[in-house]
Structure 1
Amino acid sequence: MSAVLQGFTKSLAMTVLSEIGDKTFFAAAILAMRHPRRLVLSGCLAALIVMTILSAGLGWAAPNLVSRKWTHHIATLLFFGFGLWSLWDAFSDGGEAEELAEVEAQLDADWKANAGTAKEGKADDELKKKKRPFLTQFFSPILLKAFSITFFGEWGDKSQIATIGLAADENPFGVVLGGILGQALCTIAAVLGGKSLASQISEKIVGLSGGVLFIVFGIQSFLSSVDS
């Protein structure tokens, strides 16, 4: 039980500090301003839950593919590496502003493209519905859009790789629970007012906190035995 709790608390803290103010956070916030919040929340949260489970699954499988000793050392190096990366980002200028501008530009381009096609007459509505992709016949296009933007935005992201490393070194069940709760808290905050919330939170403080947290994880992993 203590192993599950340790994995849960580490994953929760890491997820919250990694996700606040990142690209998917801003994407959820901007989408929620233009579309029904429940659809955006459902799509984003579903993508993040799937990503968390996949990442934890990869981390859980890693010791079966590589020796436990090596996965432990790799996880330790990842924690130190992400800690230094977060500290570097915290002292770099314009990180959050650039991410927000990039996400807004991408979504604006998509929004204008959709608005242009929406001006066509309603006579072709039934034909368009029949020609829609298979999944959009059953799910809202907005929900699928939120899901795809979030899923592919998170793929290969620092938080995903950190989750893999954490699950390789901690109880994967606790990592999944903590990650899902952290993702839910961040996504709800983003959908309910993430853009204004992010502007009120100091990016430097979040980056410093995340960097220190990763380094603490690295020190704890370095000092612990491989079999612990």
Structure 2
Amino acid sequence: MIGVSELGDKTFFIAAIMAMKNSRFIVFSAAFCSLILMSVLSAALGYALPNLIPREYMNYLASLLFLCFGIKMGFEGYNMSGEEAEHEMEEISEELLEKDEIERIESAETGGVADETNNSSFKEGLVNLCQFIFSPVFVQTFILTFLAEWGDRSQIATIALAAAQNVYLVTMGVIIGHGFCTCLAVVGGKFLAAKISVKTVTIIGSILFIAFSIIYFYEEMTKIN
């Protein structure tokens, strides 16, 4: 499920583009660490939900969520053009170039002079500490991946799965899925972007999500009967 929802997604292209101009090992480490953190947080949230909402309702909610995502992905896949992957990659590449240009301009304006006004926020201090411990490429890739994944359908699906199934197995499966997709992006992202059909992958994902919805609903109805 994670494979078909993440292959050709925004996080996939971020890792692919960053790996084209930076160390593949650093980019993979940063993106994978970010996705592991997101997976653990999502699974933990899903694990906590049954304590607030009865599990039988959680199964119905999971079924409804998968059905909604499946229908949404189906419409997206149906309306996609054949060159969706190339357009997505170009768009993200332009966004990253703009971000790099802004950072260069800001760096030139400050001229490296130390700020004596003590106006730097705690967030800026934390970012500076991370940049000191890790390379700027690691920090940038980690943050970009985390922000791109936040609120994504794979995160919501992870929460729903963890709420209805064994949280440890769900977490392990999600992490393995993210690791596989990230590895593909870093090693051959540009080649895959030219070869894969995001339209086909999205439609397959839609079918899988709807299938999960039916399975969850059927399992709960079987328990009642």
TM-score normalised according to structure 2 size: 0.85
> What is residue 15 of structure 2 aligned with on the other side?
28
* Residue identity in the other structure for 2:16: A
Q: What are the superposed Cα offsets for residues 10-32 of structure 1, whole Å, 9 maximum, x if unpaired?
A: xxxx1100100011100110001
1:119, distance to aligned residue in structure 2 (A): 7.1
> What is residue 142 of structure 2 aligned with on the other side?
147
1:135, distance to aligned residue in structure 2 (A): 1.7
> What is residue 94 of structure 2 aligned with on the other side?
105
1:110, distance to aligned residue in structure 2 (A): 1.5
1:98, distance to aligned residue in structure 2 (A): 4.4
SS at match of 1:156: coil
1:99, distance to aligned residue in structure 2 (A): 2.9
Calculate percent identity across the aligned residue pairs.
40
Return 5+ residue gaps in structure 1 as ranges: 1-13
> What's the C-alpha RMSD, in Å, of the aligned pairs?
2.4
> What is residue 64 of structure 2 aligned with on the other side?
77
How far, CA to CA, are the matches of 2:30 and 2:134 in structure 1?
10
1:96, distance to aligned residue in structure 2 (A): 3.8
CA contact (8 A) 1:20 1:198 kept: no
Matches within 5 A, 1:3-152: 14-94=1-81, 95-116=84-105, 133-152=128-147
* Residue identity in the other structure for 1:73: Y
How far, CA to CA, are the matches of 2:201 and 2:180 in structure 1?
16
CA contact (8 A) 1:17 1:206 kept: yes
1:89, distance to aligned residue in structure 2 (A): 1.2
Return 5+ residue gaps in structure 2 as ranges: 116-124
How far, CA to CA, are the matches of 1:116 and 1:98 in structure 2?
27
How far, CA to CA, are the matches of 1:93 and 1:17 in structure 2?
16
Q: Which moved more, 1:152-161 or 1:110-119?
A: 110-119
1:150, distance to aligned residue in structure 2 (A): 0.3
- Is 1:208 the equivalent of 2:203? yes
How far, CA to CA, are the matches of 2:184 and 2:151 in structure 1?
23
CA contact (8 A) 2:40 2:171 kept: yes
Aligned length: 211
1:196, distance to aligned residue in structure 2 (A): 1.9
- Is 1:184 the equivalent of 2:179? yes
1:100, distance to aligned residue in structure 2 (A): 2.4
Q: What are the superposed Cα offsets for residues 102-138 of structure 1, whole Å, 9 maximum, x if unpaired?
A: 3112101022234456779xx959x69xx87122121
